[in-house]
């Protein structure tokens, strides 16, 4: 895949989604992701699919990889299709409540409209909306309860911890560590995944389950430690030029323990 190649959602899929959204019908996101990838002709490769647990809930996290012509949701679809094809269930993705500065060509799209569209999207695909604004404490607390309830029901959870970016790692907010530790306290493992391009393909590389120490949840700076441990697990799966803000930590880990995969 050329790193200048541009990919668009098939019109047939957009039509099906609009009908489902209008009628309020749920759709299977894993099945749709697989169909869209096939129709779009996006070349990709999945590594480490055997690391996806076949039973119980888990939290799948990946770096926010995108570039012009390749939006982050393409990597999300590759991971979703990989999980669905292995275990017959789709992860419940966490989704921001709003998107500022989005344009269709030169036309700005109102935030209120996007907020409505996101909620309709969440209804169709059973996504979990997480308020973007940090000051919306009640909304974020409700989202955490919804995430823990989904895990209690056995559903896999998936999200991009960084929220923004172009591929090189950036440091997410500490709330990511809080969420992962809250899930670990319920026995939910974290599954790191790396998204990047190699040999003209989009690569999704899934790592081994990460067992965060839930007992550390109430210790000082525990959220930052859990966040960084999870991001380093993603970084170990990425090529070095995408290590970004975690480059020094990953280089130090290499020097201490030799090569890692």
Q: Higher confidence at residue 260 or residue 81?
A: 81
Residues 196-240: tens digit of each pLDDT: 999 989 999 999 999 888 665 566 689 999 999 999 999 999 999
> Does the structure show a pLDDT above 60 at 61?
yes
End-to-end alpha carbon distance in the chain: 24
Q: What's the CA gap between 147 and 169, in Å, rounded?
A: 24
* CA distances from residue 200 to 105, 124, 176 in whole angstroms, order as listed: 27, 32, 32
Q: Higher confidence at residue 1 or residue 179?
A: 179
Q: What is the DSSP letter of 100?
A: T
Burial of 100 (C-beta count, 10 Å sphere; 0-12/13-18/19+): exposed
pLDDT at position 217: 59
- Structural domains in the chain, sorted by start: 11-257 (3.40.1130)
Task: Tell me the percentage of the chain whose pLDDT exceeds 90.
Answer: 60
Question: 252's torsion region: left (phi>0), alpha (psi -120 to 50) or beta?
Answer: alpha
Q: What's the CA gap between 99 and 222, in Å, rounded?
A: 30
pTM of the model: 0.89
pLDDT at position 135: 47
Residues 35-48: tens digit of each pLDDT: 999 999 999 999 99
Lowest mean pLDDT among 102-111, 174-183, 197-206: 102-111
Q: Higher confidence at residue 111 or residue 6?
A: 6
pLDDT at position 120: 85
Cβ count within 10 A of residue 201: 13
Burial of 220 (C-beta count, 10 Å sphere; 0-12/13-18/19+): exposed
pLDDT at position 178: 92
Q: What angle do CA 106, 107, 108 make, to 5 degrees?
A: 115
Structural tokens at position 170: 């950036």
């Amino acid at each position: 895949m050329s790193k200048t190649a541009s990919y668009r959602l098939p019109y047939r899929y957009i039509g099906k989604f609009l009908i489902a959204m209008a009628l309020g019908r749920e759709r299977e996101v894993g099945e749709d992701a697989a169909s869209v990838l096939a129709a779009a002709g996006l070349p990709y490769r999945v590594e480490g699919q055997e690391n996806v647990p076949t039973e119980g809930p888990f939290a799948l996290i990946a770096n926010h990889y995108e570039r012009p012509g390749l939006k982050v949701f393409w990597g999300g679809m590759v991971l979703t299709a990989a999980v669905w094809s292995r275990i017959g269930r789709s992860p419940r993705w966490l989704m921001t409540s709003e998107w500022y500065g989005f344009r269709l060509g030169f036309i700005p799209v109102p935030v209120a409209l996007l907020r409505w569209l996101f909620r309709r999207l969440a209804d169709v695909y059973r996504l979990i909306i997480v308020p973007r604004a940090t000051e919306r404490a009640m909304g974020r607390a409700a989202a955490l309860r919804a995430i823990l309830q989904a895990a209690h029901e056995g559903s896999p959870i998936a999200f991009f911890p960084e929220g923004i970016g172009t591929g090189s790692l950036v440091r997410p907010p500490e709330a990511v560590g809080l969420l992962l530790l809250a899930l670990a306290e319920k026995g939910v493992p974290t599954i790191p995944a790396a998204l990047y391009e190699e040999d003209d393909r989009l690569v999704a590389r899934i790592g081994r389950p990460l067992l965060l120490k839930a007992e550390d949840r109430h210790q000082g700076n525990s959220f930052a430690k859990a966040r960084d441990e999870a991001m380093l697990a993603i970084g170990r799966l990425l090529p070095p030029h995408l290590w970004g803000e975690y480059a020094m930590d990953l280089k130090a880990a290499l020097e201490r323990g030799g090569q890692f995969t």
